[in-house]
Structure formats: C-alpha cells, structure tokens
Copies of this chain bind each other. A is one copy, B any other.
Amino acid sequence: MAKATIADVAKHCGVSTATVSMVLTNKGRISATTRERVLEAVKELGYVYNQAAANLRHKRSNLVGLVTPDITNPFFSEMIAGLSHYLEEQDSLLFLANAEESVERQSKFIDSLLSQNAGGVVMCPAMETNLDFLETVQSRGFPIVLAVRPIGEDQFDFVGTNNFMGLQLATEHLIKKGHKHIAFVGGLEISKTRSHRLGGYMSKLMEHGIPFNERYIRSCSASRSEGAKVTRELLDQYPEITAIIGYQDIVAFGVMRAIKDLGKTVGKDIAVVGFDDVAESADTNPALTSISVSAREIGRAAGEIILSRMEGDKQPYKSVVFPPKLVVRNSCG
C-alpha cells in the first residue's frame, strides 16, 4: 500500500486534484459539500499531505536552519529551546547543526540547507567566520539572521544582547562594593564578544578613576577547570585582587572553586560575578551573582525575524538587543 496522493483522494470522491488541493490549502471557493467529501476521503485513505512536493512547486519553504557553535553549552541550548518553541508554533521545522566553531562545517551545513531548499538560517557564527562568506550566502537571496554574535555592522539582521553594557553592570556592582582590584577571567582572544565585554569593563573602571591593569585580564576556554587554573595563577601573582569577573558563569564556577581551594571564602575574601545566569548559578554555594541575558528570548526573536524575512519582508536590516540584567546573589558579599 503505497502512500495515498492527492490524485487518489481526487479519484476516490470524483473531483479533480485541483479541487483537493484547494480544500487542503483553504484556497479558492469550494462548496461545503465538496469540501466535506474530500476531507472524508482524506481520512479514509490515510492521506498525508506532501509538504515537500508543495514547496517544490510554489518555491517556498517552511524549513529553517540553525547553526550553533556548541549545543552542549547551556546558554545555547536555552536559545535553541526558545527558537524551536517558536518555530513549532508557526508550523515550521528546524534543521540543527552543531558547527563546533568550525568554519568548514558551518559552510557545509549552509550548502546542505540550500540544496535541501530551506528558507533561511539563523546563525551563531563560528568565531572565525568571515564576512564575505555570509555576504555571498545572503546575496543569493538566502535570508540570514545572526544571533548572539554580531558580525558586520548593518548588513545583517541581528539579535542578541549588549555585552558592553553587561560588563558595565558587573563592574559597577563591584566598584560600588568598594573593590579596586578587579580581574577579568575568561573568553578567547579572538572573540569579538569578549572584546565588547572588555570594553564595558575597562570603561567602567576609567569612569571611576580606577587604574586599569592589563595583567588582571586573562583569557581561557569555557570550562570550570580552565577557569580554576587561570584563577590560581592570577591570585598567586596578584594577591591584591579582591574581585573577579568570569567571562561566563561556567568559568566563574571554576573561579569560585579555585578561591575555595586556596582556603579563601567567596563573597568575603574575594567577590565573583559571572555572565549568562545559567540555571546552576542560583544553586551554587554561594549562589553566583551574574549578568542575565535571556537566551530563550533571543532564540524566539531570531525565529520571528527569520520567518518574516522568508515571507518576503524587505525592511532594512535591524538589530534586536535585549539589555542584560544584573542578578544579585551572594557571591559578592
């Protein structure tokens, strides 16, 4: 029993395929009685609509792709949840790619999307992504919305947060608590996001007339153990440090760990602030003060934009920025 097609349905109730198609898609004027007959035949034959064939015919698509650098990172998985939830509401389907910071894998995935007839893609571009690549894709009429990581100023839709402001909030919080020796731990040097956050950090320091010490800044990859390692070195060399900002919560966890290992108390001897406000941050001991950026909202907003572009929205490119918030808990005393 091969799958039933529109033609089978048509034959079954003595109408044309055009008619069946119209009742299925709610187009044109169909008499109530015909419509019912068709719908009944659909049930009887167990007919399932072939969306792929329809897409081919009218050259549209309800398929959207998502490129993430690391699905395993809680921030991104939250974002995916937000995006996928929205797409589901809109009866759209999501292709997922986990590019793991590889420019090649990312571009291969885009090729697959293109050939699979997807309608657009939301990307958290790998760090080394170059602008030309994205421009080429977009110039072929394939909508892109950048999420989380901006590239190129006004040439793409973007949704994310304001990293600069996030670190201003964190830094200000610490300064107000009286800290003067504030370190910054984490992030990779090539990261644009990191440079924005550093900008927020440094500008706040200057604003308050606190001398800026380059040696208080350390990069490391996104893991607890790296965060802990770098912190041990840092505290060893610069015992005057009384506060540390983690580039991500996960790094901040490592920072806290290192502080405890040195026999000091987080929040008393040394204050710690994170970034991302992942679920776990509310549960550590002490609970981590962090900068909250609503990953789920970013995902949803990205979904809204990509879908509207796929429907032909020709407005100028826009940036949707969710301002970060400072969530005060116990890690700063």
| Residues of chain A at the chain B interface (Cβ within 8 Å) | 3, 46, 48-53, 55-56, 63, 71-72, 74, 77-78, 80-81, 84-85, 88, 91, 93-98, 105, 108-109, 111-117, 140, 223-225, 253-254, 257, 260, 279-280, 283, 285
Instruction: Contact check, A116 vs B96: say whether CB atoms are below 8 A apart.
Output: no
With A84-B97, A95-B93, A96-B96 known as contacts, the answer to whether A51 contacts B254 (CB < 8 A) is no
Query: Separation in Å of the A325 CB from the closest CB of chain B?
Result: 20
With A52-B52, A80-B98, A88-B109 known as contacts, the answer to whether A63 contacts B116 (CB < 8 A) is yes
Which of B3, B91, B98, B254 sits near A283, CB closer than 8 Å?
B254
Contacts of A81 in B (CB 8 A): 71-72, 98
Contacts of A98 in B (CB 8 A): 80-81, 84-85, 88
Query: Separation in Å of the A63 CB from the closest CB of chain B?
Result: 7
With A72-B74, A88-B109 known as contacts, the answer to whether A95 contacts B97 (CB < 8 A) is no
Q: CA separation between A257 and B287, bound complex, in Å?
A: 11
Q: CA separation between A209 and B78, bound complex, in Å?
A: 45
User: 21 A-B residue contacts at CB 8 Å?
Assistant: A46-B140, A48-B111, A48-B114, A50-B56, A50-B115, A51-B116, A52-B55, A52-B56, A52-B116, A53-B117, A63-B116, A71-B71, A84-B96, A84-B97, A88-B98, A88-B108, A88-B109, A93-B112, A96-B96, A257-B283, A260-B285
Chain B residue at minimal CB-CB distance from A227: B283
Instruction: Contact check, B224 vs A49: say whether CB atoms are below 8 A apart.
Output: no
Copies assembled: 2
Instruction: Contact check, A49 vs B88: say whether CB atoms are below 8 A apart.
Output: no
Instruction: Contact check, B115 vs A96: say whether CB atoms are below 8 A apart.
Output: no
Contacts of A260 in B (CB 8 A): 285
Chain B residue at minimal CB-CB distance from A295: B72
Contacts of A113 in B (CB 8 A): 93
Instruction: Contact check, B96 vs A94: say whether CB atoms are below 8 A apart.
Output: yes
Q: CA separation between A10 and B264, bound complex, in Å?
A: 74
Instruction: Contact check, A71 vs B84: say whether CB atoms are below 8 A apart.
Output: yes
Which of B53, B88, B111, B225 sits near A105, CB closer than 8 Å?
B88
Chain B residue at minimal CB-CB distance from A65: B93
Q: CA separation between A277 and B49, bound complex, in Å?
A: 43
The 3 closest A-B pairs by CB, nearest first: A52-B117, A96-B96, A224-B283
With A80-B71, A96-B94 known as contacts, the answer to whether A49 contacts B115 (CB < 8 A) is yes
Instruction: Contact check, A71 vs B77: say whether CB atoms are below 8 A apart.
Output: yes
Instruction: Contact check, A283 vs B225: say whether CB atoms are below 8 A apart.
Output: yes
Contacts of A117 in B (CB 8 A): 50-53
Query: Separation in Å of the A209 CB from the closest CB of chain B?
Result: 38
Contacts of A140 in B (CB 8 A): 3, 46
Query: Separation in Å of the A84 CB from the closest CB of chain B?
Result: 5
Query: Separation in Å of the A56 CB from the closest CB of chain B?
Result: 6
Contacts of A52 in B (CB 8 A): 52, 55-56, 115-117
Query: Separation in Å of the A324 CB from the closest CB of chain B?
Result: 20
Chain B residue at minimal CB-CB distance from A108: B88
Q: CA separation between A193 and B117, bound complex, in Å?
A: 39
Query: Separation in Å of the A76 CB from the closest CB of chain B?
Result: 9
Contacts of A111 in B (CB 8 A): 48
